[in-house]
Amino acid sequence: MNKKKIAVILSGSGVFDGAEIFEATLTLLHLDRHNADIVCFAPDIDQHHVINHRTGEEMVETRNVLTEASRINRGAVSPLQDADPNEFDAVVVPGGFGVAKNLSDFAFKGGECDVYEPFAELIRSFHAQKKPVGMICIAPVLIPKILGKGISCTIGRDAAASGEIDSMGGIHISCNVDGIVVDHEHKIITTPAYMEAKRISEAEKGVAALVEKVISMC
């Protein structure tokens, strides 16, 4: 098997204001087990806000998404603007509220949200080149906003989020935590992870299946 080069897009560090760390780590672990060449990217912008993950309270400070994301991959994270789809076989986006607060404002506007344009353009470029796009947890809610109507995806069984996907023209398919939904025509692979998971071992199963499918569809 030829070694695949995979871009991983991070949205900060920490479930409540950045990338979900378990999902990001599981993604990196399973990509590494497939001997992929992994490059992490994050936007060089300020987070929407900073959450104290111990108390759940907002903190009066400013943090940079790229700087925070660098905590996850031992410092090896590049600015999103440097990501060139021509150099990669696929892209994977772990979840966490950073997707809904930093890569978009879905957390505040739901189906009326706007997506951070450099991120949207990157996903559109992978899609236009018919390269696999893997999206985890809450990230699939952005698919219809970025790529248009008629693409199948999942965030699990959450009624509110799945309803927003349908309202934006996506096709939501309910899915257990250990499963994936594959839109073969568009090469979009999604899994619920912590939209459904109660423990890391549950999230691991779906992420492992997603990564395996992404690699096989390259």
Q: Give the span between the Cα atoms of 2 and 96, in whole angstroms.
A: 31
- Annotation says 137 is catalytic: yes
Q: How many CB atoms lie within 10 A of CB 10?
A: 33
* Helix pair 200-217, 21-33: axis angle to 10 deg: 50
| Catalytic, out of 40, 113, 137, 218 | 137
Sign of the Cα torsion 120, 126, 127, 132 reads: negative
Spell out the SS3 assignment of the chain: CCCCEEEEECCCCCCCCCCCHHHHHHHHHHHHHCCCEEEEEECCCECCCEECCCCCCEECCCCEHHHHHCCCCCCCEEEHHHCCHHHCCEEEECCCHHHHHCCECHHHHHHHCCECHHHHHHHHHHHHCCCCEEEECCHHHHHHHHHCCCCEECCCCCHHHHHHHHHCCCEECCCCCCCCEEECCCCEEEECHHHCCCCHHHHHHHHHHHHHHHHHHC
Q: Which residues are catalytic?
A: 137
